[in-house]
Amino acid sequence: MVELARDFARTRLEPQAAEWDRTKHFPRDVIAELGKLGFLGMTVPEEWDSMGLDSVTYLMALEEIAAGDASVSVSMSIQNAIPATMLVRHGTPAQRERWLKPLARGETLVGFALSEPDSGSDPASMRAQAVRTDGGWVLNGLKAWATNGGTADLMMIMVRTDTPGDRRGPKGISTFIVPTDTAGYRAGKPEDKMGLRASNTATVALEELRLGPEQLLGDEGMGFVYAMEGLDAGRLGIAIQAVAIARRALELSLAYCAERRQFDRPLQDFQAVQFKLADMATRIEAARALAHLAATRKDRGEAASASASMAKLFAAETAMWVTTQAVQLFGGYGYMRDFPVEKLFRDAKVTEIYEGTSEVQRIVIARSLSGR
Ligand SMILES: Cc1cc2nc3c(=O)[nH]c(=O)nc-3n(C[C@H](O)[C@H](O)[C@H](O)COP(=O)(O)OP(=O)(O)OC[C@H]3O[C@@H](n4cnc5c(N)ncnc54)[C@H](O)[C@@H]3O)c2cc1C
């Protein structure tokens, strides 16, 4: 699977990534190909039409895809992590049959909507509301920055199910399974982003959106817990996405420093340049090792939440630092759109923001240290 991912990245992603970035093109057909090859539900157990692979194999494959194009990798990462984890752990047999199997076969593209315009780092303060009716639920509200909000077939959406007179904080939130062709689901126009420009990010309006009782996932009031479980898995994917962006920046820097000459010699002959490259390589290796360690802990069934946060925090800051060094090594050319490192620099930034900012990761890690 890792070799297949590497070939796919080199032939189907790398040659087109710059153009997709320039034109904000969402390559749906290419993502569908990834689905057919089995990359969109890799760790779902075999009984649900997947390969039931381990998390380290999944991360190794995702690293290759992300090295080809970070925008495409975010779809692969979300699909494999958050919705899949939620359905595997908390779906009823009927829900898994109906929604997990096509997800695992890569036939449906899936996203999740937790954030809102006024609640990002503090999602328990969300406002979107579901009200119980005779036939099920009616949802109203606004979700923000949903990856694939405008391109997914299915979204896992977190909304309040407590009442204005009885607010329960995180215990007042539930998760719903929402096909995006449901009346009342309306995605806004794709956001115009700094990086990951070929991925779809959109506001989603929920307008009198009616759902049946079978579309509530797991228990009412447990949606926040399910989202946090999903994010533990998701953060591993973002960690490895950051590793891949940094790795690509290093590969390009090595090639450039061998070729570019100043003062009558290639840049790679200067010790200051060699030290920079050595530090880049060391930090990337450490970030990858942290991500693989967290994935191993998760697969062993050990508590892996703080490990996942450490991996994401360290890898994201590594990606930002390494891509900054890469732009520096490319000099003036590094600042130009014609050279690939400026895209990597832009793509790296979001890894410090989404699925919990670096500050939020530090909060999670600090809490785990004090046993809270
Ligand atoms: C490209 C992209 C894709 C996304 N995809 C999704 C998606 O698919 N689904 C989804 O639900 N969301 C998604 N998001 C939203 C993302 O998860 C949020 O942007 C992120 O959690 C931060 O929330 P915020 O933007 O509201 O920032 P805020 O929470 O307003 O934070 C602003 C700043 O304050 C800091 N801060 C906040 N609280 C504290 C604190 N207690 N201590 C110290 N510092 C603090 C933050 O770290 C940050 O630096 C996406 C975002 C982007 C940019």
What are the tens digits of pLDDT across the range 344-358? 999 999 999 999 999
- When pLDDT is averaged across residues 162-168 and rounded to a whole number, the result is 94
281-317: string of b/e by CB count within 10 Å (b at 16+)? bebbeebbebbbbbbbbbbeeeebbbbbbbbbbbbbb
> What is the Å distance from ligand 1's center to 273 Cα?
35
Amino acid 341: pLDDT:
98
366 lines ligand 1 (CB under 6 A): no
> What is the Å distance from ligand 1's center to 124 Cα?
13
Give the integer Cα–Cα distance in Å for 330 and 273.
11
> What is the Å distance from ligand 1's center to 39 Cα?
27
- When pLDDT is averaged across residues 156-161 and rounded to a whole number, the result is 98
Nearest to 348 by CA among 287, 272, 276, 267: 287
Q: Is 126 exposed, middle or buried (0-12, 13-18, 19+ CB in 10 A)?
A: buried
> What is the Å distance from ligand 1's center to 121 Cα?
5
- When pLDDT is averaged across residues 85-98 and rounded to a whole number, the result is 96
118 lines ligand 1 (CB under 6 A): no
- 81 with 237: CB under 8 angstroms? yes
114 lines ligand 1 (CB under 6 A): yes
Give the integer Cα–Cα distance in Å for 303 and 368.
10
- 81 with 228: CB under 8 angstroms? no
- When pLDDT is averaged across residues 203-224 and rounded to a whole number, the result is 98
Asked whether residue 337 carries a pLDDT value surpassing 90, the answer given is yes
Amino acid 223: pLDDT:
97
If one residue of 320, 354, 367 were mutated to test the ligand 1 pocket, choosing by the most ligand atoms within 8 A of its CB, it would be 354
Catalytic machinery residues: 355
Tens digits of residue pLDDT in 27-50: 999 999 999 999 999 999 999 999
Amino acid 45: pLDDT:
94
313 lines ligand 1 (CB under 6 A): no
If one residue of 145, 313, 350 were mutated to test the ligand 1 pocket, choosing by the most ligand atoms within 8 A of its CB, it would be 145
124 lines ligand 1 (CB under 6 A): no
- 11 with 63: CB under 8 angstroms? no
353 lines ligand 1 (CB under 6 A): yes
- When pLDDT is averaged across residues 83-89 and rounded to a whole number, the result is 95
Where residue 371 falls among pLDDT bands split at 50, 70, 90? confident
Q: Report the atom number in ligand 1 closest to the C-alpha of 114.
A: 11
Amino acid 232: pLDDT:
94
Phi, psi of 156 (to 5 degrees): -95, 120
> What is the Å distance from ligand 1's center to 146 Cα?
12
- 64 with 45: CB under 8 angstroms? no
Atom 23 of ligand 1: nearest residue by CA position = 120
> What is the Å distance from ligand 1's center to 354 Cα?
6
Percent of the chain whose predicted confidence (pLDDT) is above 90: 99
- 190 with 25: CB under 8 angstroms? no
Tens digits of residue pLDDT in 59-74: 999 999 999 999 999 9
145 lines ligand 1 (CB under 6 A): yes
Please, which residues have CB within 8 angstroms of residue 98's CB and are 6 or more apart in sequence?
none
In Å, what is the CA distance from 280 to each residue of 124, 243, 318, 322?
37, 11, 8, 6
Atom 37 of ligand 1: nearest residue by CA position = 121
- 329 with 276: CB under 8 angstroms? yes
Amino acid 206: pLDDT:
98
Give the integer Cα–Cα distance in Å for 208 and 185.
9
- 237 with 42: CB under 8 angstroms? no
DSSP state of 70: H
Nearest to 365 by CA among 304, 320, 321, 317: 304
Tens digits of residue pLDDT in 5-34: 999 999 999 999 999 999 999 999 999 999
Model pTM score: 0.98
Tens digits of residue pLDDT in 93-152: 999 999 999 999 999 999 999 999 999 999 999 999 999 999 999 999 999 999 999 999
15-32: string of b/e by CB count within 10 Å (b at 16+)? ebbbebbeeeebbeebbe
- When pLDDT is averaged across residues 183-201 and rounded to a whole number, the result is 98
354 lines ligand 1 (CB under 6 A): yes
